Amino acid sequence: MTSNTTASDDFKLRSFASDNNSGAHPAIMQAVVEANHGYMRAYGEDPISEQADAKLKEHFGQDARIHYVTTGTAANVLGLRAVTRTYNSVICSSMAHIHMDECGAPEAFGGTKLVTIPSEDGKLTPGMIAPYLGHVGFVHASQPKVISITQTTEEGTLYTPDEIEKLVHFAKDHDLLVHMDGARLANACAALDCSFFDLTTALGVDLLSFGGTKNGLLMGEAVVFLNPEIGEGFQYLRKQGMQLVSKMRFVGAQMLRYLQDDLWLQNARHANDMAKRLAHKAGELEHVTIKGEVQSNGVFAQIPPEATEILLEKYYFYVWDEHSHTLRWMTSWATTEAEVDEFVADIKKAVEQVK
């Protein structure tokens, strides 16, 4: 994953690099501003965080226990650490964020062994996992405890409810838990026309890293335990994991607003729509190939490498795979139709210039 542009003081970045490059949705920011009055208890005992908890329970069921953290890595590492002993392993795809993009945090700060299964589209199936479960009870082998899936995946693909259900059944049959890295769960819900509940609790997912930042928050993620039998003592683990922020009200306020009036859904739908618009329009250009169907807010595309050079002078995005020269273009709640159209026009120009 590389970008040819350099860090700069440019305040007018044009980015299709990541949904993290967008700011906060104005309504979220407004909620933060409104939370800034008077004294409140620290560390999540404030009334705003408590309201946010209640709101999350509306979405995930009354058994859910919610713990806010500030990064997706923290949600993944601490959630997985909470449900494993160090001799357990976590099964994930070879493209998983926990394996590729967290700098070894699960291993070093979670003490967790990852068992990675090669996967081109970022998804796992029971059939792919089965061969890795052979050493149960063998003292020399790390003991599998969790299947971790990402929804939507790092490759922009989706798990359908049916696919998740099959994984959950398989997991239960093998005494495993199912963890969902839901950094972009909202985009999956929007794409599949499902509620959060539909895609998690209803299917028997045990624990969830619930993302907010990529879909319009300033900073806010949560570890959500859905299975009532897990997660005991997590409040201590979060504190110890350096994630118990003092002025938690500012996280709670974001979460509360995010879940009100379907803001989360509007943002995710918009991001998905912009990705589809981009894929559709760019896909019609000569010398531009859109890889796979666009299922959420990521577009994977191939254009002539020389055209990439030209585009990177104006835009910020990643060459996702250098070998095949595949580009990743992400959209977000903030992406406008005009931005997409201008980008497509620029792609067209760049491609024409080099052909």
Q: Whose CA is closest to 256, among 62, 79, 68?
A: 68
Residue with tokens 């003991």: 143
> Could you say which of 58, 120, 175, 236 contacts its own copies (CB under 8 A)?
236
Task: List binders of its own copies among 102-121 (CB under 8 A).
Answer: 102-105, 107-109, 111-114, 116, 118
Provide the minimum distance between the beta carbon of 163 and its own copies in the complex, in angstroms, as a whole number. 25
In this complex, which beta carbon is closest to its own copies, that of residue 218 or of residue 354? 218
Choice between 85 and 355, CB closer to its own copies: 85
C-alpha 270, offset from chain centre: 16
Q: By CB under 8 A, tell whether 130 contacts its own copies.
A: no
Instruction: Give the Cα separation of 200 and 165 in Å (integer).
Output: 9
Let me know: does 103 contact 74? Beta carbons within 8 Å: no
Q: Which of 7, 127, 193, 338 binds its own copies (CB under 8 A)?
A: 7
Q: Counting contacts by CB under 8 A, is residue 127 touching its own copies?
A: no
Among 4, 58, 63, 87, binds its own copies (CB under 8 A): 87
DSSP structure class, residue 110: T
Of the candidate spans 82-90, 119-127, 256-264, 293-301, the one that interacts with its own copies by CB under 8 A turns out to be 82-90
325 is a site residue for its own copies (CB under 8 A)? no
Q: Does 91 bind its own copies (CB under 8 A)?
A: no
Query: Between residues 81 and 285, which has the closer beta carbon with respect to its own copies?
Result: 81
| Binding flag, residue 225, its own copies (CB under 8 A) | no
Beta bridge partners of 327: 301, 319
Q: Does 50 bind its own copies (CB under 8 A)?
A: yes
Q: Please state, in angstroms and rounded to a whole number, the distance separating the CA atoms of residues 311 and 329.
A: 12
Q: How far is the CB of 85 from its own copies (least distance, A)?
A: 6
Can residue 187 be called a binding residue for its own copies (CB under 8 A)? no
Q: Residue 249 and residue 257: Cα distance in Å, rounded?
A: 12
Query: Please, which of residues 261-320 interact with its own copies by CB under 8 A?
Result: 316
Task: Name the minimum Å distance from CB 322 to its own copies.
Answer: 7
Per-residue b/e over 198-211, b at no fewer than 16 CB within 10 Å?
ebbbbbbbbbbbbb
Stretch that binds its own copies, among 166-174, 200-208, 230-238, 341-349 (CB under 8 A): 230-238
Among 148, 153, 209, 213, binds its own copies (CB under 8 A): 213
**Sites for its own copies among residues 13-32 (CB under 8 A):** 13-15, 17-18, 20-24, 26, 29, 32
Residues 140-169 touching its own copies, rule: CB under 8 A, are 140-143
**In this complex, which beta carbon is closest to its own copies, that of residue 125 or of residue 143?**
143
3-class DSSP state of 299 = strand
Q: By CB under 8 A, name the one of 27, 57, 101, 342 that touches its own copies.
A: 101
109 vs 107: CA distance, rounded Å: 6
- Spatial contact of 151 and 182, defined as CB atoms under 8 Å apart: yes
Evaluate whether 228 touches 63 at the Cβ level (below 8 Å). Answer: yes
- With beta carbons less than 8 A apart as the criterion, state whether 341 and 293 touch: no
Closest to 204 (Cα-Cα) out of 143, 163, 144: 163
Q: Distance (Å, rounded) from C-alpha 145 to C-alpha 129? A: 12
Q: How far is CA 279 from CA 15, 20, 220, 331, in A?
A: 16, 20, 29, 11
Told to check if 334 binds its own copies by CB under 8 A, we report yes
Looking at beta carbons only, is 80 or 347 nearer to its own copies?
A: 80
- Site for its own copies, residues 59 to 78, rule: CB under 8 A: 69-74, 77-78
Residues 79 and 179 sit within 8 Å (Cβ to Cβ): yes
